[in-house]
Structure 1
Amino acid sequence: MLLHITQDHHRVSVISFPRDLVLAVQACLQIDGSAGSASSRVLLHTTLARGGFSWVVLAIEKLTGLHFPFAAQIRFDGATASFKAVGVFRCGVFHTQNPGISG
């Protein structure tokens, strides 16, 4: 997920990337220390297992064209606790993908 907090701290935007999103990734060291090769077709959820958190960040940076000076890895239970700590908030869906045309 990509989280953006406005400078005045009054608005937060979140973009969720599907775990089965197909990405192009650059070469990066893998978790076991071996060199991972660049690939034009990698599923997003495999980047964490293959190259660790830094490879996930690099893949999303390449996809979005943005640079992320800060990143965090939060497990599902941590995300749930974060949402409970924030309390009530409004959530809107601004764009949905039509499954009939995705591919």
Structure 2
Amino acid sequence: MNAQQLIEIITPEAYQRLLYAVETGKWPEGTTLSQEQRDACIQAVMLFQSKHNTEPEHMTIAAGGEVCFKSKSELKQQFQTKDENEILRVRTNDPAQDNAG
């Protein structure tokens, strides 16, 4: 099987399993990958990303096979909220914290 054939048969679900395996060194069921399996998974993930990754994150393979690096400012802009004054407020179970503000 060549690389193009491999890209064509990887489903998004299979890609997520491969990505999890690469990131953790284990299959989702908990079985540890051998070094050969991990190397093969990395290659499969990169091949899949090279065809399907139209919105690459900080350091991934973009569609077309190019390695994509985003600068710190690009990442900040990507995660910036629409309203800079918007804050996530979390209630605690601590009465002293509830009365502090």
Interval containing the TM-score (normalised by the shorter chain): under 0.3
Mark the structure with the bigger radius of gyration. Answer: 2
TM, length-normalised to structure 2: 0.28
- The structure that is strand-richer by fraction is 1
- The structure that is helix-richer by fraction is 2
